[in-house]
Copies of this chain bind each other. A is one copy, B any other.
Amino acid sequence: MAYDQEQLLEKELSTIDESIEYADRAQVMWVNIDGLHNSDILEKLGRYFNIHSLTLEDIMNTGHRPKTEDFESYLYLVFKMLVFDQDKMHIVTEQVSLILGPHFLLSFQEKEGDLFNSVRERIRKAKGRIRKLDSDYLAYALVDAVVDHYYLVLEEVGTIIESLEEKILADPDPETLHSIHHLKREMIFFRKQVWPLRETLNALSKDQSNLIHETTHIFLRDVYDHTIQAVETIDSFRDILSGLQDLYLSTISNKMNEVMKVLTIIATIFIPLTFIAGIYGMNFKFMPELELKWAYPALWAVLIVIFCLMLVWFKRKRWL
């Protein structure tokens, strides 16, 4: 866990009481809690920072959609961190809750993650504005880090989509179709996570509560723009995936058409020829043709003429 102020204090605490003891000394305090299994810590924090019991329940329950709630004395913000698992082509979510109070910020993650490391680094090195501004800017920095990560996920998805497209054009197989179907589901899921965050950030960037300073509004508008762009990219990915599915189906149709043509050409040429051969294989006693010397070569000539006529006909129909 980390504190940041004009002077910088940073400590990993095992008990929550220590954090409380530091609370008064710092100008801006950031407590980051990994793992939500320990409800004791939450309760202690809740009592110290005066947090509504409903908020604490919300933090524990990881099935929430992104939202913000203004409890006068603090702002509660919950949203999703998304990581793309390349092997399983699966998006993994983790819920992040922020409690933004005057000069303090509590952040809750489900698992230990390294997404906030870049922010920690900036605090340590006093890089950029972050050390000069209040806890609301810190909250913005955390949200921004998460939203920036969305783009990484989208980029990875984009690469997969492109490789799928190439595969469909080159050599489509049912596996490709399953991948498209799977990605589409993931995009539906992704959108469900990002869309409400968009609304939430919009609300925040217009918020009139005095927890968020005027200067931070510009930055929030910036993240808001980023979420809009993310949603639009997801939507166009879905459109493109639908297009790929159509393309796959048409390719299958084309292939089937080609297969049918081969079958039809072969069958249409040889079935009549076989019939003629069958005729002269009959054992009738009185078949005058059979006695003629030139009958056999004549038949070959007939067969070859039929064969050629068929080819010409197929050429005309553009089947060849």
A243–B181 CA distance with the chains assembled, in angstroms: 7
Complex contact A291–B295 (CB within 8 A):
no
A192 within 8 A of B: yes
A48 within 8 A of B: no
List the B side residues contacting A274 at CB < 8 Å.
Answer: 270-271, 274-275, 278
Which 3 pairs, one residue from A and one from B, show the smallest C-beta to C-beta distance?
A277-B278, A280-B282, A263-B264
Interface residues of A in 165-196 (CB under 8 A from B): 169, 171, 174, 177-178, 181, 184-185, 188-189, 192, 196
Interface size class of A (residues with CB under 8 A): 35 or more
- Residues A263 and B254 in contact in the complex (CB < 8 Å), given A169-B178, A282-B277, A286-B296: no
A101–B221 CA distance with the chains assembled, in angstroms: 21
Q: Which of B171, B219, B280 contacts A283 (CB 8 A)?
A: B280
Complex contact B245–A246 (CB within 8 A):
yes
Residues on A facing B (Cβ under 8 Å): 52, 54, 64-65, 67, 69, 169, 171, 174, 177-178, 181, 184-185, 188-189, 192, 196, 218-219, 221-222, 225, 228-229, 232, 236, 239-240, 243, 245-257, 259-264, 266-268, 270-275, 277-287, 289-293, 295-296, 299, 318-319
Q: Provide the main secondary structure of the chain A interface.
A: helix
A171–B317 CA distance with the chains assembled, in angstroms: 11
For residue A25, give the distance in angstroms from its CB to the closest CB of chain B: 31
A274–B252 CA distance with the chains assembled, in angstroms: 31
Besides the known contacts A65-B229, A69-B218, A284-B295, 6 further A-B residue pairs in the complex with CB atoms under 8 A apart: A255-B257, A266-B268, A274-B278, A277-B278, A284-B299, A286-B293
Complex contact B266–A272 (CB within 8 A):
yes
Q: Which of B222, B247, B286, B287 contacts A177 (CB 8 A)?
A: B247
Q: Which of B245, B256, B277 contacts A257 (CB 8 A)?
A: B256
For residue A141, give the distance in angstroms from its CB to the closest CB of chain B: 13
A240–B255 CA distance with the chains assembled, in angstroms: 25
